[in-house]
Structure 1
Amino acid sequence: MEAKEKFDSNLKGIAGDPIMKSANITITWYQVGATAKLEAESFWNRVESMFLLNLNQEKADLASKQEIQKLLSYKNEEGWAILSKGPVAMITGRSSTFIKVLEEFINWKDKMGKKKFEEAFKECYSEIMKTVSHCRRLDIPIVDGKAPDRMKCAECERTMEMFISYKCCSEGG
């Protein structure tokens, strides 16, 4: 709850900042998982479908592939966020990193005269990511008995170790 409150208060402060208002930038945020479990399952099913679709398309945008992969790696975790512009995901990451970027807004908001909000945000995010360690777990559903032989980390581009995960979920009965 503390992270959510930090996130909310920082976003409210940024949304109300005069620079944001003068640039006519609107921030809208949603909380996934605060709704019904069925809605959350539907969300993750769509993310898996997008991942598998992009995985098999050679011409798919690499940045989009990486953001979908990062998002899928957060499926079994709490505390993640997405910065999107309309339907396009710009950055996917841990909420703790997003909070650091939001807390640094006072230091990067002046760049918005020369850059778009999302570009300035990405730049600050990239600088913070250089100082943060990461460990990604990616559970990929096997389709038609096929799974990729290799997978690169969406965060650092190194080849990921491969593990097999099994999962059983039961709702009573």
Structure 2
Amino acid sequence: MAWLELGKKMTEGKFICLYGGEDLEWISKFTTAALSVAKAGGFELEMVYVGKSNAKERMQKMINTFATRKFSYYWPNVTSIWFFWARLESMLYSKLQHGRTVENDEIMSEVMTVLSFDGSDQGWAIFCRGASEMARAKGDTALTSLLEFDKWKENIDKLGLVQALKDYLDQLHTPHHCNRLILPGSTGGIPQKVVCAECGRQMEKYFMYRCCVE
């Protein structure tokens, strides 16, 4: 996860949670549950809200809300949020230009996963520690896993926190899920193959035109 440029926060023993979306009710429940799990488990958790791409006006409203309600750490300006998503898109297109695929490039696969989470209508979260431990899920599944902490906490000593969470998230996945990946055409280069971040199946390819993205 060093590609997220949060390496300075990833000190040994500290767990990082990146999360996004616009559903304030989910954000409130999710951040409360995450901090409760961290307290119960006795580990240090750093939460960072990264917002949503292509939504400058809405993100300014979210920033104002975060300033008042103090859900977690957040970037205090729209430019930082934009830069985060622009960097991910730039990394994806760079990988494509070098002929990389999701099968042979783990970073490319993770970037596409985050971009597909951003394209959904719900929140999402990634938990990680260092550069090798990571668990991720869309909003409802991520929240459920935290609310059901008692069902998987016994595996932490054996597997570690992130892996224990990842295994439980895998149990919560249902056959019914849908992702979409929306890429701006201005950067150039469209992937020939995109796989679903949830089930790993190849997605069908469509053209999408959007208006009023604000």
TM over 0.5: yes
Worse overlay, 58-67 or 131-140: 58-67
Q: Which amino acid aligns with 1:139?
A: I
Cα root mean square deviation, aligned: 2.8
The 5 A counterparts of 1:1-173 are 1-17=24-40, 20-21=41-42, 25-33=43-51, 34=63, 35-55=76-96, 56-57=99-100, 62-76=105-119, 77-86=121-130, 90-129=134-173, 131=174, 133-142=176-185, 146-167=189-210
1:72, 1:138 within 8 Å by CA — same for their partners in 2? yes
Which structure 1 residue ranges, 5 or more long, are not aligned? none
Please give the secondary structure, in 2, of the residue aligned with 1:165: coil
Q: 1:93 to 1:26 in 2, by over 3 A?
A: same
Q: How far is 1:138 from its partner?
A: 0.8
2:152, 2:164 within 8 Å by CA — same for their partners in 1? yes
1:82, 1:89 within 8 Å by CA — same for their partners in 2? no
Q: Computing the radius of gyration over CA atoms, which structure comes out larger, 1 or 2?
A: 1
Q: How far is 1:65 from its partner?
A: 3.0
Q: 1:157 to 1:109 in 2, by over 3 A?
A: same
Please give the alpha-carbon distance, in whole angstroms, between the structure 2 residues aligned to 1:144 and 1:49: 8
Q: How far is 1:61 from its partner?
A: 5.8
Please give the alpha-carbon distance, in whole angstroms, between the structure 1 residues aligned to 2:32 and 2:189: 45
For 1:103-137, what per-residue CA distance to the aligned partner results, in whole angstroms no more than 9, with x for missing partners? 111111111111110010000000001x2621111
TM value normalised by structure 1: 0.79
Worse overlay, 33-42 or 86-95: 86-95
Q: Which amino acid aligns with 2:82?
A: E
Number of equivalences? 165
Q: 1:119 to 1:140 in 2, by over 3 A?
A: same
Q: How far is 1:99 from its partner?
A: 0.4
Please give the alpha-carbon distance, in whole angstroms, between the structure 1 residues aligned to 2:134 and 2:108: 11
Please give the alpha-carbon distance, in whole angstroms, between the structure 2 residues aligned to 1:42 and 1:137: 21
Worse overlay, 89-98 or 36-45: 89-98
TM value normalised by structure 2: 0.65
Please give the alpha-carbon distance, in whole angstroms, between the structure 2 residues aligned to 1:157 and 1:95: 18
Please give the alpha-carbon distance, in whole angstroms, between the structure 1 residues aligned to 2:129 and 2:25: 26
The answer to which structure has the higher strand fraction is 2
Q: How far is 1:101 from its partner?
A: 0.7
Which structure 2 residue ranges, 5 or more long, are not aligned? 1-23, 52-62, 64-75
Q: How far is 1:140 from its partner?
A: 2.9
Please give the alpha-carbon distance, in whole angstroms, between the structure 1 residues aligned to 2:163 and 2:190: 34
